[in-house]
Amino acid sequence: MFKRLFIAAVLIALFLGGVAYFQMVFKPAMIADFVSKMAPPPATVTAEPAKTETWIARVHSIGTLVAIEGVEVAPQLGGTVMDYFFDSGQEVTQGEKLVQLDISVEEADLVSAKATLHEADLDRERQASLVQKGAVSQAILDTSTAKRDSAAAAMARIEAIIAQKTITAPFTGKLGLRRVEKGQYVSPGQALVWLQALDPIWVDFPVAESEVAKFKIGSKIELTVDTYPGEVFKGEVEALDARLSQDARTLMVRGTLPNPERRLLPGMFANTAVLAGEPRELVTVPRTALTYSLYGDSVWVVKEGASEEDAQPTASAEGAGAAIAADAPEAPTLTAERRFVRVGQTEEGRIAILEGIKTGEQVITSGQLKLQPGAAIKVDNADALKPPAELPKQ
């Protein structure tokens, strides 16, 4: 009886031991082997080496081109247009006659005023001769002199009205589109034509309060406009406004640019950059390589060889024996490493990295959303991102 119980106990112990071995050793090893064989394929990314470039610190802004002298030519007095002496878009010099209003009434008044002045002059001369002879008093001569001066003032007034109805260019510049016709009645202040002095030309642009101390009057300016893509116009800072905008906390800056060919026109949208500082060498990467997050800015770097996690076998795999280890997948040759960096200025499609990246290191420029630290990657630059065509500004 005792022998049967002993045999049953041994069999039960062997069964339980087998179950325990299966659950605790063999099964985890099989699961580990299955998971290792089901590892996802390397993520396909594009990469580009970090480069060292010589940059000058720039203060970027968006401005508007403004004519140094620009007015709407308008009459001071109303009247009928008798003639005009210019064409749309014409270059004119200061004092050149532009529009003539009807002055027939003033010319007739001027003839009368000249006759009155001539009579007053003769009367004063007669009275002055009589005073010298003692025939009349000095008071009569004074009255005659006052009449002569009044007649002269009346004639000068008529001449001033005639001059005001003869509209001339107040300065040298380029005219805009003509907005006046012969026979048209124009009111005081009605715009007849634009007149703009185009060489040189101003550019006004706002600068953030924190950037104001980086440059001064005389600092160089580089400017681009959408009309001439890829072309850079150069000038310098002429003046700084006396106060900051209370709403935006920006200071308005005015620059001057030569414009001998009159290609830059007032009202143009301008991308401006003030050169603030000396040239220096910086490590730069494409802007698409930078990833922004609440924890800071980071860049994914391509590392050669397997990550530390992939290089170290798991405990369950060690217990599975050499047969299972021999079937383990080959470690990837490239992995992704996340680096937190400190960024600097940007120039077109590149950004300066002040800390965290060295020249020559491969940085991932697309495909970052698929990555985790230590993830296996495959670099394929055949499908690299291309900058989209620039949309026209409305």
In the numeric block, the tokens 């008044």 are attached to 109
Contact 188, 78 (CB under 8 A): yes
pLDDT of 1 reads 64
Q: Residues of the chain whose pLDDT is less than 70?
A: 1, 35-39, 136, 305-332, 383-394
pLDDT of 41 reads 79
| CATH 2.40.420.20 for domain 39-54+281-383 | yes
For the chain, the structural domain boundaries read 39-54+281-383, 58-67+194-279, 103-164
| CATH 1.10.287 for domain 103-164 | yes
- As given in the structure block, the two tokens for residue 333 are 């040759």
**58-67+194-279 has which CATH code?**
2.40.30.170
pLDDT of 328 reads 46
Q: Specify the 3-state DSSP secondary structure of 381.
A: helix
φ, ψ of residue 192 to 5 degrees: the values are -105, -40
Contact 348, 271 (CB under 8 A): no
pLDDT of 321 reads 40
φ, ψ of residue 326 to 5 degrees: the values are -70, -25
pLDDT of 116 reads 87
Distance, CA of 213 to chain centre = 19
Angle at 135 between CA 134 and CA 137, to 5 degrees: 75
pLDDT of 299 reads 92
Of 215, 217, 264, the C-alpha closest to 236 is 217
pLDDT of 390 reads 56
pLDDT of 230 reads 83
pLDDT of 128 reads 79
Sequence-distant (6+) residues with CB within 8 A of 74 are 188, 189, 190, 191, 192
- As given in the structure block, the two tokens for residue 223 are 């400017």
10 Å CB burial of residue 140 (0-12, 13-18, 19+) is middle
For the entire predicted model, the pTM comes to 0.64
pLDDT of 324 reads 38
CB atoms within 10 A of CB 374: 16
